[in-house]
Structure 1
Amino acid sequence: MADSISRSELMQSGLNLIGQALSIFDADLRLAVANHQYQTMFGLPDSLCQPGAFFEDTIRHMMLRGEYGPQDDPDEAVRIRVEQARTFQPHYLERQRPDGSWISVEGAPLSQGGWIAVYTDISDTKRQEALLRARSEELSEQVFDHAEALSAANRELAATITALQETKRVVTETQARTRQVTEMVPADIAHMDRDYRYVFSNRQMPQIFPGTRPDIVGLTGEEALGAPTFAAVRPYLDKALAGRHQVFEITHPESGRRIRIALTPDRGGNGIYILSTDVTAEVEVREALTHASRRELAAKITSGLAHDFGNLLTIILGLQDRLSRSPLPEDASQDVQATLAATRRGVQLLDRIGQIAAPRGMAREPVCLDTLLRDLCAMARPTLGNSVRLSLTTDLPEGRLMLDPGQLQDSLLNLILNARDAMAHDGGEITLDVRATSRWLELEISDTGPGFSPEALSRATEPFFSTKQGQGSGLGLAMVFDQTKIAGGTLHLSNRKDVKGARALLRLPMQPVRPQMVLLAEDDDNLRAMLRRMLISMGHSVIEAGSLAEAQSLTDLPGLTVILSDLQLGDGLGLDLVSPSGPPTLLMTGLPPGDPLRENAPCPVLTKPFDSAMLAEAFVQVTDD
């Protein structure tokens, strides 16, 4: 950063030594660079000479001071000059200022957008020309001849300049079209010099790397991408700067997106061209297909063996249970108990295979995550033994979150037990760190064990893959992966960078429970009371109506956000409460799916009976829509 500041100061000092006034405005018509002569020549205040000053404000200031002579409509004159600046054309002109001095103005557009203008005081030149004209009668014939030749040369030069300006205009238009095309491409296209500094960008970086800025020209890679992302990319940049093409993928730490980056060395040796595209959807489809094929295999195994295997386990459990109630020698009794434990493990294994073959859906409900995590740690600690410690750190907002508590507990417990098994010989520490961002709930489990092997990192989520040398089923991480995908999240496994150990990061969509003001319309008093308690327990405010007429009189209450109504009320249909301009409506009914009255409803319908989790999930869908 100090290097950048010194460069900026050095450039500004050099510009201030130029005898001409200079200004550069960017594509947004804001001042990027100006020297001291620019301020002095036009008598501008400091505020209009700072980077970021608007061109329109500068023109208005100069217009009101009479810089451009009398104006019938100053505002219209300002507007015309601003519009001309938006389609800036190369030009050269000379004009006399109100104080009698003369200046020349030369302007040219820049390839990155915006323009540069150079102002030169030519008052002395104009005075000499006037003096020459006044004394022209005294000049010799030879001077006239030379003047005529010079005039002809000037006319030829003017024609050449006109041709060059036309060529420059064509080039500028071509550059503008190219820039417009690149800015329409759904990818980040950029050029970086050998100092890792951007010299071109199509301004699409925020679309690929959320949280970054579009105007990155002049920034270094670390300044534009952030330190973690640049650290992941830099080894490939170095190889590309050495002349080797690179194509690779990274996971963007801030958003979890999968980014594919192609680096092409500049043939002139001046840096590299960069093409970055978001391939998150492609990777998810690829992973889904891979895991679908593995689940299909598991399904085939399950369908072929589950019936017979389940019958055998049932017989074994029955026989061993009967033996366990019989008087047996101590050794035989221990053998029976061991057989029962092994058989129950077989039942659990069969159930887990079934989950991999056909994962259950989600059952989200409002959850106090801090309480769930503390209960989970309290449940897990006795299973870890004396040599393994489990610590919990949280950074969570107040309020409850919409989660499937069963799935989340299963996934976290599985990861904790995997970490315990990895440290079985030497012991160590397991850390559960939970934090929330605006988009994600991040649950990170790290340990101080030996870490993942390269094979484990590439195959850990495959069904039946295990590193426990025949002691594990190989289904735990596959189940965690599937459950996380169903919840719309991601699972990332890695080794810790600075210390020994493994790291598993679960990312789930951040969905806070938003308190609603609910109009509850139900003609059954007992059911209405039960629903009221259910809604209040979720954190919502409730206004009750025992009939359609009463509900209709309350639909225009200030602050009302949701209507929950029975489809069939005693005095009419809940359908009459649905209005495009009113709050979203959720209907409930005991009518089966396919019933005409239910099928014609213009809003979601919840089937009775339902529990609080089903109601909470329906509320999320209604309020999100």
Structure 2
Amino acid sequence: MQNRDDHTKSMTMAGLNLIAQGLTIYDSDLRLVVCNAPFQTMFDLPQSLVTPGAPFHDTITHLASRGEYGEVGGIAAFVAERTSQAQAFQPHYMERTRANGRTISVEGSPLPDGGWVAVYTDISATKAQEALLRARSDALSDQVLSHSEQLAQTNRELAAMITTLEETKRQLTASEARARLTTEMMPAHIAHVDATGHYTYSNQRLAMILPHRGTEILGRPIREVLGEETHAKILTALTAAYGGTATVQEFTDDTSARRIRSSFTPDQMGGVYIMTMDVTEETQTRAALQQSSRRALAAQITSGLAHDFSNLLTIILGLQSRLEGITNLPPEAPALIEGTLVAARRGGTLLSSIAQITGPRSLRPTATDVTALCHDLITLAQPTLPEGMEITLTLDEVGPVLLDGGMLQDALLNLVLNARDAMGTTGRITLHVQCVHDTWIEFRIGDTGGGFSDAALEKALDPFFTTKGAEGSGLGLPMVYDMTKLAGGDVQLANTAMGAEVTLRLPYRAAVPSTTGLALLVEDRDDLRALMRDMLMQMGYSVIEAATADEASALLADLPDIALVLSDIQLEGDSTGIDLAQRLGPHSPPLILMTSLPPDAPLFTQAQQHAPVLRKPFTAHDLTALVAQPPKATV
């Protein structure tokens, strides 16, 4: 590569040396970048001043000292003035007569990144011809001669201007190409609509952000491209932008069920620039972090109260037990004592429920067979239902998904039991499971009861709200809500024509498929690499290793048979495991990331948007739990 660059540079200089004009290029620091041989010959410069890096100041000082510019008075002041002009370089064309009597033209143009290029042409012959014409053309009037001279100079200035304009056009074309390339590389749809609502610019990312919208949208109205429903969702923000106010709007795209954020920026001509991004993963992560923060605050508030309340209940239970041992109490005393004991024990149960909501809790997603989980749920719930009640399951084809199966089954069982309690002795409970556009996995539990009351629809997810009277704690649905939000999902309550319906949506993250073969382990600590190598080999993999993301990228490029990548997030060098994840293409092997960072660390949150994340320390069982196991053969 170096030899090729040297050869190209040599050929370029050979070409520059063949032209008759002198040429120089100086950078923004006023140091020489390149010059050709005619420039050195024209001004008879020493080699030190035509070597790349030579200061402009030194060249002007040398020429002024030698009398190139005639009598200049103070050389230092003259050089300072020329240097100042060079720092504020402007396009120009000028002609000057040198001290040796030769006349040259100087044409200069600034460069986009600073510095300038200048071309020096010896026009002595042209000037001599003009003088000869004046001397030998007595018949021509002075006015015609003057006009000819002015026309010749004007032509030279126009030629210089045309050259400058062509260079400016080239720079603008290159700048536009760079700007378009930048917008195409961004993971967002960037567009412009004019005052009539028609697209005048768009990159090719709309279909990636909003599926089924197409890419040929220039000249089409935004209402037609986005569709009536989506256009209605952004209309308020778009109208505000037309009015001169920059706005940001978030909405859920009904076609893909993904969360979308659009920003609207007015221009100066009545149009609007629009940038649209898919923020589904960000929204899921934000919901999980918000729920964790709420839990931490609730735990801080209730821990002290629960401790004191627990002590009081202990005293009440102890005193009531002592009263039971007294023999000469009134006849009604035993019933009162038993009632007090029952209330105190119920208070203890309530404290345990509060502790489950506010206490430390973390999700442990594993490769979960949703079909098996739902069938197990039906098996658990069936014995608790009255004889006149049935439960049915409708299940779309769902492969192994990364979920906390234990928490999910607890939440679904809680909802089934709530549905049972809402129907009395007869009715039907339905559980429907489906994937929504590979964005969510949705669980809908419905019943044929009386449905939610208006108060329940508004407050059923609030702690301690219950419609069961003394039989309910008001903590069942809040616990379901808590689990769902921790996972980055959502809970919706509704009434249907049949009865009540609760919908759980959890982020759909397909489990890493079970394979054997070659695994790439990316870890920069030797001791940890040895431990994890053993884990992978126990799972049936052959293992190759890398210490940096760049080394891992090179191995992935050279070895197409890699079946699994296990990488730390924080690695040696400038690149992280997240950078490695971003380099992987759609046909790259599955990736699992690992880290010792806490769950609320920015890198941890960012990593979850790209791959499953294992927190160190972890066991071989934890690693295996993220890999979808093939179904067992039946005999």
Q: TM-score, normalised by structure 1?
A: 0.45
Compare CA radii of gyration and give the structure with the larger one: 2
Q: TM-score, normalised by structure 2?
A: 0.44
